[in-house]
Amino acid sequence: MILSLATWNIHKGFSQFNRRLVVHDLRERLRTLGADIVLLQEVQGLHLRHPKQHADWPEQPQHHFLADEVWENHAYGPNVAYDHGHHGNAILSRFCIASQHNQDVTHFRFEGRGHLHCAIEVPGLALPVHCVSVHLSLFAGSRRKQLAALVERIEAVVPANAPLIIAGDFNDWKNHADALLAQRLNLQEAFASNRGERPARSFPARLPLLRLDRIYLRGFSVLERQVHHGGIWTGISDHAPLSATVKAIQHPGDGVLPAPTEGKR
């Protein structure tokens, strides 16, 4: 079974520095990736003021608007609530979402954070694929606590031999997440699957310098991976989207087993 994945911090549908509404362009760019499963961050679930300020503001919540007619199944988990709305993480899927759970990992009240966990039933795989969209703190101490909470939940509720995808905006420019996720959950990052490689540069989108966004995998080998920036991607979000094409590692009678990924540029 081959799956196409993508992750993107969409900046609530606005360009860098909130200069203009780009959610319509963003939807078209997202669809060009042809992903089966999309893990999104900073998705605007509700905003009561924007419809008055922007004539083309979508009537639907952003995850509905982005998924329309392409991804039949979608889930949303609010992380930050305010008097005029909320935003959070979302997962869009071509396959059935069997269950979803939004784990609140907020450490500071002014910086809401969460992990959206979905179990997705992919045809041809004996076990559901567990997908988690994450958006970690800007502060290192908070990120450590949030990663620890994520690992503890996955160890508690996800079978050790189940395929697992954890992707999103880690804000982890010093790359502290790799060791913990590899040791505790047997995960490897799609862009750092070969010795000596590091996660991709994804921020800022115009000229990526920082390695903030990640796709961690268990039970898959990597066939292709790409950072999408420049050209048609310029001016859409402050983050560049990442995509990966992966192949499930099958084992007779037991679905998918965890295994290191292998990839190429």
Using the predicted structure, report yes or no on whether residue 2 has a pLDDT greater than 80. yes
pLDDT above 70: residue 252? no
Please state the rounded mean pLDDT for residues 74-92. Answer: 91
pLDDT of residue 232: 86
Q: Position 86: which residue type?
A: H
List pLDDT tens digits, range 208-248.
Answer: 999 999 999 999 999 999 999 988 898 899 999 999 999 99
Q: Is 202 a member of any domain?
A: yes
Summary count for the chain: helices (H), strands (E)? 5, 12
Q: Please give the Cα distance from 121 to 248 (Å, whole number).
A: 13
Predicted pLDDT of residue 217: 97
Residue 259 lies in a domain: no
CB 168 within 8 A of CB 89: yes
Is residue 103 classed as helix, strand or coil in its secondary structure?
strand
Structure tokens at 249: 């590692």
pLDDT at 17: 66
Do the domain assignments include residue 107? yes
Average pLDDT over residues 96-120: 92
Note down the domain range covering 173. 2-248
Residue 265 lies in a domain: no
Residue 113 lies in a domain: yes
Structure token digits, residue 190: 């799609």
- pLDDT for res 265: 32
Q: Decide if 224 is inside a domain.
A: yes
- Mean pLDDT of the 253-265 span: 41
Average pLDDT estimate for 75-101? 93
Domain-located, residue 254: no
Given a contact cutoff of 8 angstroms between Cβ atoms, the answer to whether 216 and 188 are in contact is yes
Looking up residue 223, the CATH number of its domain turns out to be 3.60.10.10
Predicted local confidence at residue 251, as pLDDT: 59
Residue 126 exposed, middle or buried by CB count within 10 Å (0-12, 13-18, 19+): middle
pLDDT at 14: 87
**How many whole angstroms separate alpha carbon 158 and alpha carbon 37?**
19
Degrees, nearest 5: CA angle 31-36-40? 70
Task: Output 253 or 32, whichever has higher pLDDT.
Answer: 32
Return the pLDDT at 264. 34
Report how many domains make up the chain: 1
Helix (H) or strand (E) holding 78: strand 73-82
- In terms of phi and psi (left: phi > 0; alpha: psi -120 to 50; beta: otherwise), the region of 132 is beta
pLDDT computed for residue 256 by the predictor: 42
Q: Which residues lie closer than 8 Å to 193 by C-beta, 6 or more apart?
A: 222, 260, 261, 262, 263
Q: Rounded to 5 degrees, what are φ and ψ at 152?
A: -60, -40
- What per-residue confidence (pLDDT) applies to 257? 41
**Any domain includes 25:** yes
Place of tokens 């199944």: 73
Tens of pLDDT, residues 19-38: 789 999 999 999 999 999 99
Residue 59 pLDDT more than 50?
A: yes
Tell me how far the alpha carbon of residue 63 is from its chain's centroid. 13
Please state whether beta strands 129-135 and 164-169 pair in parallel, antiparallel, or not at all (unpaired).
Answer: parallel
Mean pLDDT of the chain: 90
Distance CA 221, CA 206 (A): 29
